[in-house]
Amino acid sequence: MSDVQNNSMAIVAELKTLLGSPHVLDGAEAMAPYLTDWRKRFTGSALCVVKPATTEEVAAVMHLASEKGLCLVPQGGNTGLVGGSVPIGNGHEIILSLARLTNIREIDAVSDVMVIEAGATLMAAQDAAAKSDRLFPLSLASEGTATIGGAIGTNAGGTAVLAYGTMRDLVVGLEVVLADGRIWNGLGKLKKDNTGYDLKNLFIGSEGTLGIVTAAVVKLFPAPKSRATALCGLASVEDALKFFNCVKAEAGRELTTFELIPRLGIDLVLKHFSDTREPLFFKHQWYVLIEFSSLTEDGADPLAQRLILDAIDKAYLEDSVFAITLSQRDEFWRLREYMPDAQTREGASIKHDISVSIDAIPAFIDTVVKELIALLPDIRPFVFGHIGDGNLHFNMQGPEGADGKAFLKQADAVHEIVYRHIAAFKGSISAEHGIGQVKRERLAQTKDAVALDVMRTIKKALDPDGRLNPGKVL
């Protein structure tokens, strides 16, 4: 047995002594679920997977890794889309799973905050808030497995950004284990604390490259007493933007969701999921899933009906249907939430998570789609997203029945067109999925040079040996 193998076995033995043998996985079969990302694009290798149960145990693992010259890859629900939560495969990485840090330490309904550990799922946070008649508003299709720590690491958005903001807007304080093993306790509940640099914002969106978030103080809101949900058919994205501006001006924060859906999205969801049905009598080029929330029992419905009828009168909408029951609301949401899986079942697609200014959305879609169709006439544009915050999932579906591998060979040409126009429109190459491994090189090509230099300086200051989530972001 080589010295390297002996050393590896010794390190694993130390970790088992530190955490308990059941909480250190080192066999190939046991580690397999942690080594491949959700989209199955990246598979790495690791020395082992560790599952600490406390912040102090995370710090102890960090100390040991530093002493042995090893790197740490923090992992929550492993639902990320850019390969940020799996090792790059140099054999010197420990996957640090936060799956056992799930405690809800406190719910303060007076201050409207919750102190929650990083391994808790978004759904667990939502359920805990609901028991105190509060709302934790971050909602994703993967909320049953996506974790608080993962959402912080990627600054997740979701479907309610329009009213409540991204994860960055929802975090009041953090607890973080630094690269040298020190624990920064920033779990204050203060809404006002003007005492120097706002350290928490360094770690939000850093994808575990600056420190390991173990707990957070997150904002809660009064639970809505009524909701109104409708699905609307439109002729164009321009009409969707007119509709949005009209509704936003009167509804304000009571407008909580405004999701743009293409006809192709409806078609593929109906094709691949039997628990869905055609939402409107006639087919439309575009759809908007819109939802209003109110703090009064009967406030949402009258507002929604008045604003949608007004939009029909102004010819912004061609048709609409309201959800009368909770099951109908669920039907509408399934049409939106099934779209990523429907794309996968349909075959190969080339995906982009991008953002542009809201006013530029129609021109951006029109300009880029025309150029892509000129390049690949049989391509099927599949653009959907959160029109109220400028975040588009600008995806291109391969031709029906086409060879997926052959289609994906066109990815570089498609990316070149999309990213060139993002730069021209002063947009972002990543709106809510992060950088990870997928966009690391693209970030270096597109980010402002001064901004990149500042980012590298911060990385060097907080992680001088590059032990935290190597190969990601920078």
Which DSSP string corresponds to 36-77?
B-TTS--B---SEEE--SSHHHHHHHHHHHHHHT-EEEEESS
pLDDT at residue 1 in the model? 42
State which amino acid sits at residue 440. R
Backbone angles phi, psi at 200, to 5 degrees: -60, -35
**What distance lies between CA 277 and its chain's CA centroid?**
27
CA distance 427 to 445: 14
Looking at residue 91, its pLDDT comes to 65
Amino acid letter, residue 211: G
Q: Are 40 and 1 in contact (CB under 8 A)?
A: no
Measured CA to CA, the distance from residue 212 to residue 72 in angstroms comes to 9
Q: Where are the domains positioned within the chain?
A: 3-97, 104-222, 226-340, 347-433
- Eight-state DSSP code of residue 253: G
Instruction: Please state whether 318 falls in left (phi above 0), alpha (psi between -120 and 50) or beta.
Output: alpha
Query: In which element (H, E) is residue 457 found?
Result: helix 449-462
First to last CA, the chain: 36
Q: Residue 382 to residues 97, 260, 340, 360, 417: CA-CA distances in angstroms?
A: 34, 11, 10, 18, 16
| Other Cβ atoms closer than 10 A to 432 | 25
Element (H, E) at 304: helix 300-313
Domain range 3-97, its CATH number among 3.30.1490.20, 3.30.43.10, 3.20.20.70, 3.30.930.10: 3.30.43.10
Q: Name the helix (H) or strand (E) containing 336.
A: helix 326-337
How far is it, in rounded angstroms, from Cα 182 to Cα 66?
12
The values of phi and psi at residue 317, to 5°, are -115, 145
Its pTM stands at 0.92
Name the DSSP class of 337. Answer: H
Confirm if 227 and 292 have CB atoms less than 8 A apart.
yes
Integer Cα distance of 180 and 66 in angstroms: 7
Contact yes or no for 287/230 (Cβ under 8 A): no
Class of the domain covering 347-433: alpha beta
Q: What is the pLDDT of residue 370?
A: 97
Q: Contact, 330 vs 243, CB < 8 A?
A: no
Assigned CATH class of 104-222 = alpha beta
Alpha helix (H) residue ranges in 347-448? 361-375, 404-408, 411-424, 440-446
The reported pLDDT for the residue numbered 425 is 96
Domains 226-340 and 347-433 share a fold: yes
| Token pair for 28 | 């190939």
**Which tokens sit at 159?**
């479907």
* Strand pairing report for 93-97 and 48-50: parallel
List the structure tokens of 468: 């935290």
Angle at 99 (CA atoms; ends 97, 103), nearest 5 degrees: 135
Across the 474 residues of the chain, what is the mean pLDDT of every consecutive 10-residue run? 64 94 93 90 92 98 93 93 86 91 96 97 97 94 91 91 93 97 95 92 96 98 95 97 94 93 97 96 97 91 93 95 94 95 94 95 97 96 92 95 91 95 95 90 91 96 95 93
The helix/strand/coil state of 208 is coil
Q: What is the pLDDT of residue 299?
A: 85
List strands edge to edge, sheet with 24-25.
24-25, 48-50, 93-97, 71-75
Sheet strands (E) in 87-142? 93-97, 104-108, 113-117, 134-135
Cβ neighbours of residue 251 closer than 8 Å, sequence gap 6 or more: 292, 303, 307
**Helix ranges, 114-262 (H):** 122-131, 148-154, 161-164, 167-170, 200-203, 237-251
Task: Give the distance, in angstroms, between the CA of residue 309 and the centroid of all CA atoms in the same chain.
Answer: 33
Angle at 129 between CA 127 and CA 130, to 5 degrees: 65
Beta carbons within 8 Å of 396's beta carbon, 6+ residues apart? 349, 350, 351, 372, 376, 379, 380, 381, 382, 414
Which is nearest to 204 in space by CA: 258, 165, 251? 165
State residue 179 phi and psi, 5-degree precision. Answer: -60, -25
DSSP 8-state code for residue 96: E
- Position 298 scores a pLDDT of 86
- Topology of domain 226-340, per CATH? Alpha-Beta Plaits (3.30.70)
